[in-house]
Amino acid sequence: MLQISAVIPVFNEEESLPELTQWISRVMNDRGFSYEIILINDGSTDRSWQVISELSKSNGNIKGLNFTRNYGKSAALDAGFSQASGRVVITLDADLQDSPDEIPELYRMIVEEGFDVVSGWKKERHDPISKTIPSRFFNGVTRWISGIKLHDFNCGLKAYQLKVVKNIQIYGEMHRYIPLLAKWNGFAKIGEKVVQHQARKYGYSKFGLERFLNGFLDLISVSFVHRYKKKPMHFFGLLGTISFSSGFIITVWLIAQKVYSLREGVKVREVVDQPLFFLALVALIVGVQLFVTGFIAELMTSNQSKETEYKIDERINCTE
């Protein structure tokens, strides 16, 4: 069994790939690790795939997957995880900002200290303030919601036991929340290591400020899916009960008020002339709709199947 699988998503990084793969190979060979480097070309528009093909010919440890178009980092990692066979899986970004020199210590923490996941923490960053301040806010909110005490959820340099990556599925922008997904799947021993953040040497950042908005939306999504994926009726049924009960109580109160007024000889408006009646009617209808939604969701979850959201065009040293 291989000791280390390095999984690296690639998007327009033709200049950095030769240096990155040489650096990783040097670290692995110096430490005597058996390893593989899995490069996932995520629809690059430059020569990244050609470079990967050329590198694989001179280094048999390099494997490649080529997407038909750009699907995003999560899809690339998911495809890489499906191919990984090393005892420890290391993820790195392809832009040389993650140092391969950190790999041996990450490996040791997984193997000797028994961590399921070890996340890198770029304590000192070579990024503009426009990225560091939103990142700190994002990480703070994620820590509060997830209960996982990590300083840097966005760090691409992470290490996992093989069984962790084989038991989670990531999609959308969920790559930021792999520690959270791991925890929810029973892999709760999550550690952190301060890692060196390299200044960008080639190209430009592929992520803008929109990633933070997308990140918050994905955090809400992954939290909801975790809690209610197997029991959607608990969510929709609760809301439906509240809505239907509110409408029913208001309706009964309006009718009782009308009956009492007629009995006492007090003039009162017709029930259907009161705005509160229509509010009650809407609440009753919404309550029924939420119940129906819950039933449909229960049927869907009982018949769902796992399907990948990406298409692979070419493979190098990889299985189907």
pLDDT at 136: 77
Strand order in the sheet with 117-121: 190-194, 117-121, 158-161, 88-91, 4-10, 35-41, 62-67, 312-316
> Across the strands, what pairs with 159?
90, 118
Counting DSSP H helices and E strands in the chain, the numbers are 10, 8
State pLDDT tens for residues 7-64: 999 999 999 999 999 999 999 999 999 999 999 999 999 999 999 999 999 999 999 9
pLDDT at 215: 66
pLDDT at 264: 77
Give CA 127 to chain center in angstroms: 23
DSSP codes, 189-228? -EEEEE--BPPP-SS--S--THHHHHHHHHHHHHHHHHHH
Q: What is the pTM of this model?
A: 0.73
pLDDT at 320: 72
pLDDT at 86: 95
Report residue 294 as tokens.
């819950």
pLDDT at 33: 96
pLDDT at 126: 58
pLDDT at 308: 62
Asked if 20 and 57 touch (Cβ cutoff 8 Å), the reply is no
State pLDDT tens for residues 68-96: 999 989 899 999 999 999 999 999 999 88
Low-confidence ranges of the chain (pLDDT < 70): 125-132, 134, 199-216, 225-226, 301-309
